Amino acid sequence: MSTQEFTLVDLKRILLEGAGADEGVDLDSDTALTTDFVSLGYDSLALLETGGRIEREYGVSLDEEIFANGLTPNGLLTAVNASIQEAAVA
Amino acid sequence: MNARVVITGIGLATPHGLGLDDYWSATRVGKNAIGRVTRFDASRYPAKLAGEIQDFTARDHLPGRLIPQTDRMTQLALVAADHAFADAGVEPGTMPEFDMGVVTASTSGGFEFGQNELKKLWSQGSHYVSAYQSFAWFYAVNSGQISIRNGMRGYSGVVVSDQAGGLDAIAQARRQIRKGTKLICSGGFDASVCPWGWVAQLTSDRLSTSERPERAYLPFDAEARGYVPGEGGALLILEDADAARERGADSIYGEIAGYGATFDPKPGSGREPGLRRAIEQALADAGVGPADIDVVFADAAGTPELDRTEADALVAVFGVRGVPVTAPKTMTGRLYSGAAPVDVVAAVLCMREGLIPPTTNVTLSPEYEIDLVTGQPRAAATRAALVIARGYGGFNSAVVVRAAG
pLDDT, tens only, B122-145: 999 998 999 999 999 999 999 999
Please say if the pLDDT value at position A2 is more than 80.
no
CA distance A32 to chain B (A): 17
Mutation target among A13, A14, A45 for the B interface, most CBs of B within 10 A: A45
Q: Which residues contact A55 (CB under 8 A, 6 or more apart)?
A: A61, A62, B127
Nearest to A20 among B67, B128, B131 (CB): B67
Give the domain ranges of chain A: 8-19+26-89
The pLDDT assigned to A30 comes to 83
Q: What is the mean pLDDT of chain B?
A: 97
B65 with A17: Cβ contact below 8 A:
no
Cβ contacts of residue B4 below 8 Å, gap of 6+? B240, B241, B242, B255, B257
Question: What's the CA angle centered on B385, arms B370 and B344, to 5 degrees?
Answer: 110
The answer to whether residue B229 scores a pLDDT higher than 50 is yes
Which of B59, B62, B65, B126 to probe by mutation at the A interface, max A CB count within 10 Å? B65
CA gap B327, B297 in Å, rounded: 6
Mean pLDDT on B302-325: 98
Q: Which domains does chain B have, with CATH numbers?
A: 5-246 (3.40.47.10), 258-403 (3.40.47.10)
What tens digit of pLDDT does each residue of B143-170 get?
999 999 999 999 999 999 999 999 999 9
User: What's the pLDDT at A3?
Assistant: 66
Position A1 pLDDT exceeds 50: no
Chain B residue with the nearest C-alpha to that of A21: B64
Of B65, B69, B130, nearest to A22 by CB-CB distance is B65
Q: Which residues pair with B374 in a beta bridge?
A: B359
Q: State the DSSP string of B29-65.
A: TT----EE--SS--TTSS--EEBPPPS--GGGTS-GG
Nearest to B293 by CA among B327, B241, B257: B257
* CA angle in degrees (0–180, nearest 5) for A21-B80-B396: 130
Nearest to A48 among B64, B65, B131 (CB): B131
pLDDT value, residue A88: 84
Closest CA to B290 of B310, B276, B304: B276
pLDDT digits (tens, 9 = 90+) for A51-83: 999 999 999 999 888 888 889 999 999 999 999
**Structure confidence by residue, pLDDT tens digits, B183-227:** 999 999 999 999 999 999 999 999 999 999 999 999 999 999 999
The answer, for A56 touching chain B at a CB cutoff of 8 Å, is yes
Summarize pLDDT for B231-269 with one digit per residue, the tens.
Answer: 999 999 999 999 999 999 989 999 999 999 999 999 899
B192, B106 in Cβ contact below 8 A?
no
- Whether B42 has a pLDDT exceeding 50, the answer reads yes
User: Would you call B67 and A56 a contact, using CB atoms and an 8 Å cutoff?
Assistant: no
* Residue B46 CA, distance from chain mean position: 25
Give the Cα separation of B18 and B205 in Å (integer).
30
ipTM of the complex: 0.86
What CATH code would you report for A8-19+26-89? Answer: 1.10.1200.10
Q: What integer pLDDT is reported at residue B1 of this predicted model?
A: 54
Instruction: Spell out which residues of chain B touch residue A22, defining contact as CB-CB under 8 Å.
Output: 63-65
CA angle B311, B389, B47 (to 5 degrees): 90
- Which runs of consecutive H residues, i.e. helices, occur in B89-194? 111-123, 133-136, 141-150, 165-178
Amino acid identity at B290: P
